[in-house]
A and B are shown apart, each in its own frame.
Chain A
Amino acid sequence: MLFSSIPFLYWFLPLVLIVYFLVPKTGKNAVLLISSLVFYGWGEPKYLFLMLATICLFYLCGLAIGGAKKQPWKKAWLTVSVFISLALLGVFKYADLFVSSFNAVTGLSIPLLRLALPIGISFYTFQCLSYAIDVYRGTVPPQRDPIAFGAYVALFPQLIAGPIVRYADVAKALAHRTHTMEDVALGLRRFIIGLSKKIILADNFALLMKLFRESAEPSVLFYWMYAVAFMLNIYFDFSGYSDMAIGLGRIFGFRFVENFNYPYLSRSITEFWRRWHMSLGSWFRDYVYIPMGGNRVKKARWIFNILTVWMLTGLWHGAAWNFVVWGLMFAVLLLLEKWIPGLKELPGALSHVYVLLMVCISFVLFNAESFTQAGSDLGGMFGLGGIPAVTAETLYYLKSYALLFVFGFLGATPLVRDTANRLAQKPWGTVLEWVAMGALLLICTGYLVDGSFSPFLYFRF
């Protein structure tokens, strides 16, 4: 089920909220677990068993790791947990990539599995893995309550597109959490803002991208409009989903980690990755990069560590080689920034141009169906292939989308948030804020009813 869908907004969520706030505290985790399973099963009823099996296996592994008296046993159970995680991802997400690549190299024709990708598998597998590692490290005790553990793994607000919530961050809230009207209000506001980012901004940019792909008259300018539209589309899509997840979490009494911090304001790629998909970056840092030795190793090993982490980061985003190249591109840029200090200290606007250009190019690669398409898109952006600089069609869509681009650029800075926060200090400003929330809810509903329906990009991850 999508957050930005009528069944979720006007059937599922209101009913869950009513039941959740009616049941006593002791039953709230059960309500969350059951509703999360319904939410998950709605899209993939057959994979509900996979989710239940994952919950059971990691619940038992957690108990086994926590209960083992001797280190070798702890390690053995951790190994089992890691194996389960990798097996899940390997079978359901990466098997066909490896088989088709193997076939291509060897000339064999081993049949592909062609399994549908279970929604959110990369997110909940990583959450389970971090839980097992944290229990192994002794950072958190194992969760003995299967309902609470199930609610953590399947928690629908962040189940399918993050942020990647670590067990340590919500362990206390799973056992005991408070609910206040203030939290409900702030959570609701965050949810509506996220919904609006997704439906009004991201989906309309997606429409422009679709029009670009359908165009029979591409131009250099249209290629750039497409590239910038995708930058804004993926940002508002993903950060909008994170906003909705964080908002819903707050309504239910949880505080999820922030996932974005205006990444397009970054002045270096290093800074960009501290602001973009923060929960994934910190996950790889804490569970892959540092255990590999981080930067406290010899130079060659450190380079290997960086390349490995970024290759995995790319692969996490999708089972295709363009994602791997995308990740490695960032690895190279990060290494260059370490080796050439001037790259991280470019003056003023130049630093922003550098980051935005690199990120823009990387996302063109990211969104391409194949390397051929990526090459064609990048070639188009730089005027290769003899296409015109501009066409009547391009100018039409530039005019049509000009204001949306302006809204997108402004929305990617803290300007709107800061202005809203300043206004909200005053009573009339707060009134205005909630009038705006009501209007945004109705506008989003209008878009949904009219069929502006597109799945979240991060579903495939």
Chain B
Amino acid sequence: MKTKKIRIIGAACVLALWLALTVLALTAPQKALSEAERRPLAQIPDFGLSELWDGSFMKDFEKGAMDQFPLRDSFRKFKALFHYYGLRQSDNNGVYLAEGHAAKLLYPMDKEAVALAIQRLDKIYEKYLKDTGSNIYAAVIPDKSCWLGDLALDYDAFFSAVEAGMPWAEHISLTDVLTVDDYYKTDIHWRQEALLPAAKKLAQAMGMTLEETFTETVLDRPFYGVYHGQAALPMAAETMVLMESESTKNATVYDHESGKTVSVYDLTKLESKDLYDVFLSGSRSLLTIENAKAKTEKELIVFRDSFASSMIPLLLENYRTVTLVDIRYMSSEVLGNFIDFHGQDVLFLYSTTVLNTKGILK
């Protein structure tokens, strides 16, 4: 009899919890954005007969109800904790934890993707660089999984494939000047304040030296990297440090997309969803940096992804002009309309993640 009463009370408590969540789901104001996931949230749609008839109302409602669920971030965190620690799963949403770092599974090497990427870069060489007399360099940035976890890419095979596919470039290995601690714990990217050894190695290989003095500026805003939201695990906020020098202070950055001139460190991006956008304004297809105080009149063209945004400011002192091209956002077929290739130094600086993703380079 006693257990029956307890059972009914227990059921009543669970029903009350259920009902409370229902009331919150029905009444809570809708949110536009998820900070943790860095994406706009789906909204509960307005009712419409035609949308009801074609079923789109229901589909949108499903999405909206999931995205707008009360305490969404807490529920995602709860699920992630259960997934990692309750079920002992190695990863949550493809993000795993090792040595205090969150990292994305990057396995195995997608040979087709790498071949496609190399083919694209080779076309650029053939079309724009072959007869210009440019010094051409290439460096592949290892993902932090290189130092983490049980399931890492075969990096030796990866680098060998890239080197073999780009025989016209001088390849610079960065693996020996990086460690896992040179990357943010919650993000895919490397930390700019840890990149001086890698920058010096690049500069040396390109026949330069780095002599500038850098001062560290710590941003006030806490940095939560992209994996923080994806993993949904309680991970501490990180600090973002900018390496400032005479060159970074004086150089100007022309954004061909917006037609605006901005600074190397774009502080208007401090409120951006991704704080890493502070480095050269984030994802931009074509930028030209002018450094009037450069040691030489040399020019550099960098074919790059987002990792270069924090690396290139460290190399500025040696170049009067640096052009950054991101062919994820513009077609390499039209580069000739924007860039005059005439023997500038050229650096291909790509991360393994980009090279291992099929069809990302245009």
Contacts and interface: CB of A to CB of B under 8 A. Distances in A.
Nearest to A395: B150
A11 B90 contact: no
Interface string B78-102: 1110100011111101000000000
A7 interface: yes
6 contacts: A6-B66, A396-B107, A427-B3, A434-B9, A449-B72, A452-B79
Q: Which of B18, B26, B82, B107 has the most CB of A within 10 A?
A: B18
Contacts of A182: 4, 7-8
Given A42-B58, A443-B82, 7 more contacts: A188-B14, A424-B7, A430-B7, A433-B7, A434-B6, A441-B17, A442-B78
A104 B54 CA distance: 34
A107 to B, nearest CB: 36
Given A11-B26, A426-B3, A447-B79, A396 B13 contact: no
A335 interface: no
Contacts of A337: none
The 7 closest A-B pairs by CB, nearest first: A434-B10, A446-B79, A185-B11, A400-B90, A396-B151, A430-B6, A446-B75
Given A10-B22, A393-B107, A404-B89, A185 B10 contact: yes
Interface in B121-168: 150-151
Nearest to A400: B90
A27 interface: no
A450 B76 contact: yes
Q: For this complex, into which size category does the number of interface residues on chain A fall?
A: 35 or more
Nearest to B82: A443
Contacts, number: 149
B52 to A, nearest CB: 6
Interface string A418-461: 00000011110111011101100111011111111100000000
Majority SS of interface residues in chain A?
Answer: helix
A10 B13 contact: no
A449 B75 contact: yes
Nearest to B58: A42
A429 B13 CA distance: 16
A7 B61 contact: yes
Interface in B19-65: 19, 21-22, 25-26, 52-53, 55, 58, 61-62, 65
Nearest to B73: A449
A361 interface: no
Interface string A271-282: 000000000000
Contacts of A10: 18, 21-22, 25, 65, 69
A376 B13 CA distance: 51
Given A182-B4, A450-B232, A188 B15 contact: yes
